[in-house]
Amino acid sequence: LSALFARFNMDYCAIRQKWAWIVNFEKKKKIRYTNCTGMNFLLVDDSEIELKVTGNLLEKNNCKITKVRSGSECIIKVIDKPFDLILMDDQMPNLSGVETIENIEQIDGFKTPIILLTNAKDKDLQDKLSKSKNIIGYLRKPVDKYELNELLKKVTKKGDK
């Protein structure tokens, strides 16, 4: 029995040591932010926390960010000025993200790419993504900085800074 316990303890320690190395490697992995200097992004989310967290991630890419908390505010902002990218929460009260997108796509000349911010399951997500030609991708909440950066590279078609 003691031999079995000793073997188990050695295996456990080895696994724990390898796991710690993997976790530390991931923490040390550097991100090269996409240079979005001069670009205007519209961030739409009803959650103040999500606005702050996602806004902080976007600021590391040197873009200008306008934050709004509802679909109706988004529509007003889009009418007022053009944006290079819209990041839209899909679950907001009153006017959902998809409903907001349907409304802004009716504006003449609207061609702004949209990234959907979602908590949706895969089955629901495919339906939402198919509703708009302007949705170029999605990010699950909480937003991951690596995934965000990859989508920004596609949108900007620029190199890293």
Model confidence pLDDT, tens digit, residues 50-89: 999 999 999 999 999 999 999 999 999 999 999 999 999 9
Cβ burial of 86 (10 Å; 0-12, 13-18, 19+) is buried
Q: Quick one: pLDDT at residue 117?
A: 93
Query: CB of 76 within 8 A of CB of 51?
Result: no
Cβ burial of 135 (10 Å; 0-12, 13-18, 19+) is buried
Assess whether pLDDT exceeds 70 at residue 103. Answer: yes
CA neighbor of 100 nearest in space, from 122, 68, 125: 68
Quickly list H helices, the chain: 2-28, 48-59, 71-80, 97-104, 122-129, 145-156
Model confidence pLDDT, tens digit, residues 17-41: 555 555 555 555 677 889 999 999 9
Q: Quick one: pLDDT at residue 64?
A: 96
> What is the DSSP track for 84-123?
SEEEEES--SSS-HHHHHHHHTTSTT----EEEEE---HH
> pTM value?
0.78
Model confidence pLDDT, tens digit, residues 107-155: 999 999 999 998 876 667 777 777 788 999 899 888 988 899 999 998 8
pLDDT band at 13 (very low <50, low <70, confident <90, very high): very low
- Close Cβ partners of 55 (under 8 Å, ≥ 6 residues apart): 43, 65, 67
